[in-house]
A and B are shown apart, each in its own frame.
Chain A
């Protein structure tokens, strides 16, 4: 744990140090700020001892002038410091975010099976913003504060060694207080993080499932679960705050005690003329400057805690190689659309879902997959899309192993539609073109005409500019499927994979779509998964799946004659 913690920070520092020049400027500015912050007490001391006590008004004015300059410079430099810090951290964070997103895009589907959406989103948002704080208030500011504490102690020693001993004698107690406090609060902060994560996961799942909760009248039960999670969180918060309520006054008291001691010892020294009044005043100023950073550092503990956890999660993801889909270098250009499976075996877990499957599909051929649910039809399509790697066997696309192609170029040749297609928060037109600027509005309209999606799109007041929302709650499910099919047409996919893509579309509309697509489909290889046999009847070839195997193959008429599995499915559909 400790070790991992360190390596995580080293990785972070590495990214940090990539911006050498900015970082050097920043450190220089910071040191200047420290110098400016720490010089006024000395100037004031000189003012008191040399001028005020001697009645020298010109000298006093001179010191005041210097102070004005120093304060203005300090003010100005602090702004520069903040600006550079922000710029630096924003740059690093933007880079990290983009690395992270790239990484997530490269993950195979097993990864998404395992990670909850809420969890991933929080990595890209709150984990990153945690890190950002770690950079700004965490590393940089803590560095500054620590340097300041050390410099103050040195100044005190130089100013007056004996009096400095008094202050230094108190410090171990304060440090103990600080360490003790951290030891108590750190685990509490760890719990807090766990609680927060639990709460947001709970919220996400319950909000997406709200219709089920309401329909089954389970509001109270879920409210109870929520209260438990919520109460845990709030209890932890209250506990932490109560410790802070103890710690802050304790530091105040320590500070007051130190001042009193310094006054006592210093007063005596002044009486015996070993110490000047100005030095005593400077000491008191410095004590204040010494203790307030301690308070602020104590608040940083939380930050370090949660940020290191965030950093760990982010780097875990960045370095996770397990679920990256294998890909080659070769670009997939001028696709013909030939597909071949050779003895493919695949399992999600232990149980094989596909068992030594072999088949091949010619360019331009239209093939249907039928079979019981769970027999592995969708899995074949997911493997074609290279969402998972195979266990055994190989998949050839245009007579070439599919894992030798560069992933993006391969996937672009495919048009894949699932049963619940994704709708993005964007206009209808953008949802169809998928933000591809090369597709003109006319092409979009043509595509929509082919798929009959134009009928409902034209009914929106803003037509193709009508705004759709994520998950598409303002469309019927069938309409979403129509949008998805239109998307494929507009993007000119070469190989169509339609996984129950018309299951929520009525037969009449489906028939019209098929008629319109017929011309287009001649140049495309098409695989349709469907249960409605009317959808399946007119394809060139039907493959019948059963428990991960292909058990029958042939045209509709041939399969009916065989009186096997297909015949039975057909019979069910039309039996009286």
Chain B
């Protein structure tokens, strides 16, 4: 089809060349026949074969211009394939088979671009099984910390450690198998609710496990009220769900295999406080087994955490439990505004 297009474009030029050749052969050939240099038979033979001689030369020109055009496409493709920011394992310790949930961040500094530094010398340590909240103003870098911990963006070397191993020493597969993450604007695939919740292993996950996860995320009642329950189809990116339903399906998807580490980026933002409390109660049941990092704005979430990190200007401004922080002026500011 593309050939037809190109040929169409080249048609006038090719035709002009062909015409020219016919003309020249006819004129000179005719002249030679009249002067008896060649016979009429030779003249006709020439007339017939000149096309075979000329066409290939014309096509070479055409091929050259095709090549030129393809090179541009090839370069663009090459840019993607040769992209430097590829996620890959270099020099990993293949002996690491699992993570315990113990996390340490050491003097982490990071910026997306030269304009401003998002994190500067940020340090934090989380023991296995703890529940930690990160709070702070819009744009301080809460989501950034969570992204870096999963290598969604690459942190500097020797700044993030799991069980004492630099994050770059851990095979990506192991890192991703042990950390489940619900982002601020979770993506839901089109398909059934069942397929979305059992996303991690769509083949072997039992319905019981799916229902357990749905109950955990307090979405089971909603799902059962849908016409086809777990087989209800949801549109592209969960368009037929309310905001809070989407967040909770994403949460169910992340909890289903009880990962060692769970990262929740403001996942209760569209959820009412009663539902939030139900989910928090469920999460508390798993305390000690799952390391949970929660970005939140509501005090109702923070109260249950083992540790609250208050981020400001790229650093930890204060940290401690809710009770401990009640003596901190900055934290109290936030707390009081909510009452």
Per a CB cutoff under 8 Å, which of A133, A302, A459 touches B115? A459
| Residues 172 to 228 of chain A near chain B (Cβ within 8 Å) | 205, 208-209, 211-212, 214-218
A568 within 8 A of B: yes
Query: Roughly how many angstroms separate A139 CA and B34 CA in the complex, as a whole number?
Result: 46
Contact with A along B194-208 (1 / 0, CB 8 A): 000001100000000
In the complex, are the beta carbons of A506 and B135 less than 8 A apart?
A: yes
Query: Roughly how many angstroms separate A61 CA and B20 CA in the complex, as a whole number?
Result: 15
In the complex, which residues of chain B have a beta carbon less than 8 angstroms from the beta carbon of A5? none
In the complex, are the beta carbons of B26 and A205 less than 8 A apart?
A: no
B181 within 8 A of A: yes
* Nearest CB in chain B: distance from A135 CB, A: 12
B227 within 8 A of A: yes
A479 within 8 A of B: yes
In the complex, are the beta carbons of B116 and A52 less than 8 A apart?
A: no
Query: Roughly how many angstroms separate A503 CA and B270 CA in the complex, as a whole number?
Result: 7
In the complex, which residues of chain B have a beta carbon less than 8 angstroms from the beta carbon of A505? 138, 297
In the complex, are the beta carbons of A507 and B87 less than 8 A apart?
A: no
In the complex, are the beta carbons of A71 and B23 less than 8 A apart?
A: yes
Query: Roughly how many angstroms separate A132 CA and B22 CA in the complex, as a whole number?
Result: 34
Query: Roughly how many angstroms separate A374 CA and B176 CA in the complex, as a whole number?
Result: 31
In the complex, which residues of chain B have a beta carbon less than 8 angstroms from the beta carbon of A349? 227
In the complex, are the beta carbons of B22 and A114 less than 8 A apart?
A: no
Contact with B along A480-515 (1 / 0, CB 8 A): 011000000000000000001001111111110000
Q: What number of residue pairs across chains A and B have CB atoms under 8 A from each other?
A: 235
Asked, given contacts A57-B31, A504-B184, whether A303 binds B1 with beta carbons under 8 Å apart, the answer is yes
B123 within 8 A of A: no
In the complex, are the beta carbons of B173 and A217 less than 8 A apart?
A: yes
Query: Roughly how many angstroms separate A349 CA and B225 CA in the complex, as a whole number?
Result: 13
In the complex, are the beta carbons of B227 and A351 less than 8 A apart?
A: yes
In the complex, are the beta carbons of A281 and B44 less than 8 A apart?
A: yes
Per a CB cutoff under 8 Å, which of B33, B47, B239 touches A113? B239
In the complex, which residues of chain A have a beta carbon less than 8 angstroms from the beta carbon of B34? 51-52, 55-57, 60
In the complex, which residues of chain A have a beta carbon less than 8 angstroms from the beta carbon of B334? 506-508
In the complex, are the beta carbons of B8 and A374 less than 8 A apart?
A: no
Asked, given contacts A373-B245, A477-B185, A482-B138, whether A504 binds B8 with beta carbons under 8 Å apart, the answer is no
Contact with A along B129-156 (1 / 0, CB 8 A): 0000001111100110000001010000
Per a CB cutoff under 8 Å, which of B87, B180, B184, B273 touches A573? B273
In the complex, are the beta carbons of A68 and B12 less than 8 A apart?
A: no
Contact with A along B228-269 (1 / 0, CB 8 A): 000000011101101111001000010000000000001011
A53 within 8 A of B: yes
Query: Roughly how many angstroms separate A419 CA and B115 CA in the complex, as a whole number?
Result: 28
A335 within 8 A of B: no
In the complex, which residues of chain A have a beta carbon less than 8 angstroms from the beta carbon of B137? 506, 508-509
In the complex, are the beta carbons of A531 and B138 less than 8 A apart?
A: no
In the complex, are the beta carbons of B273 and A461 less than 8 A apart?
A: no
* Nearest CB in chain A: distance from B294 CB, A: 14
Per a CB cutoff under 8 Å, which of B138, B186, B239 touches A509? B138
In the complex, which residues of chain B have a beta carbon less than 8 angstroms from the beta carbon of A133? 5
Asked, given contacts A52-B30, A478-B139, whether A78 binds B15 with beta carbons under 8 Å apart, the answer is yes
In the complex, are the beta carbons of A74 and B15 less than 8 A apart?
A: yes
Contact with A along B101-127 (1 / 0, CB 8 A): 000000000001001100000000000
In the complex, which residues of chain B have a beta carbon less than 8 angstroms from the beta carbon of A477? 143, 184-185, 266
In the complex, which residues of chain A have a beta carbon less than 8 angstroms from the beta carbon of B266? 477, 503-504
In the complex, are the beta carbons of A572 and B139 less than 8 A apart?
A: no
* Nearest CB in chain B: distance from A395 CB, A: 20
In the complex, which residues of chain B have a beta carbon less than 8 angstroms from the beta carbon of A300? 4
| Residues 180 to 221 of chain B near chain A (Cβ within 8 Å) | 180-181, 183-187, 189-190, 199-200
In the complex, are the beta carbons of B26 and A44 less than 8 A apart?
A: yes
B329 within 8 A of A: no
B289 within 8 A of A: no
A interface size (C-beta, 8 A): 98
Interface SS of chain B: helix
In the complex, are the beta carbons of B138 and A277 less than 8 A apart?
A: no
A96 within 8 A of B: no
Query: Roughly how many angstroms separate A71 CA and B43 CA in the complex, as a whole number?
Result: 21
- Residue picked from B185, B297, B300, most chain A C-beta under 10 Å: B297
* Nearest CB in chain A: distance from B141 CB, A: 8
B76 within 8 A of A: no
* Nearest CB in chain A: distance from B28 CB, A: 10
* Nearest CB in chain A: distance from B292 CB, A: 15
In the complex, are the beta carbons of B237 and A40 less than 8 A apart?
A: no
In the complex, are the beta carbons of B179 and A508 less than 8 A apart?
A: no
* Nearest CB in chain A: distance from B270 CB, A: 5
In the complex, are the beta carbons of A534 and B30 less than 8 A apart?
A: no
Asked, given contacts A133-B5, A215-B179, whether A504 binds B138 with beta carbons under 8 Å apart, the answer is yes
In the complex, are the beta carbons of B270 and A531 less than 8 A apart?
A: yes
Per a CB cutoff under 8 Å, which of B5, B11, B181, B269 touches A503? B269
In the complex, are the beta carbons of A116 and B138 less than 8 A apart?
A: no
* Nearest CB in chain B: distance from A189 CB, A: 9
A216 (CB) vs chain B CBs: closest residue: B200
Can you name 8 A-B residue pairings with CB atoms under 8 Å?
Answer: A113-B239, A114-B235, A373-B248, A476-B143, A477-B184, A504-B266, A531-B276, A573-B300
Task: List 8 A-B pairs, minimum CB-CB distance, nearest first.
Answer: A373-B244, A478-B138, A503-B269, A217-B176, A572-B273, A78-B12, A209-B187, A71-B19
Query: Contacts A133-B5, A348-B240, A373-B248 given; 9 further ones with Cβ under 8 A?
Result: A40-B22, A60-B27, A82-B12, A116-B235, A208-B237, A373-B275, A500-B243, A532-B297, A572-B277
User: B residues bordering A, Cβ < 8 Å?
Assistant: 1, 3-5, 7-8, 11-12, 15-16, 19-20, 22-23, 26-27, 30-31, 33-34, 40, 43-44, 47-48, 51, 87, 112, 115-116, 135-139, 142-143, 150, 152, 172-173, 176-177, 179-181, 183-187, 189-190, 199-200, 222, 225, 227, 235-237, 239-240, 242-245, 248, 253, 266, 268-277, 297-300, 303, 333-334, 337-339
User: A residues bordering B, Cβ < 8 Å?
Assistant: 40, 44, 47-48, 51-53, 55-57, 60-61, 63-64, 67-68, 71, 74-75, 78-79, 82, 112-114, 116-117, 133, 136-137, 141, 205, 208-209, 211-212, 214-218, 277, 280-281, 284, 288, 296, 299-300, 302-303, 348-351, 370-374, 378, 418-420, 456, 459-461, 474-479, 481-482, 500, 503-511, 531-534, 568-570, 572-576
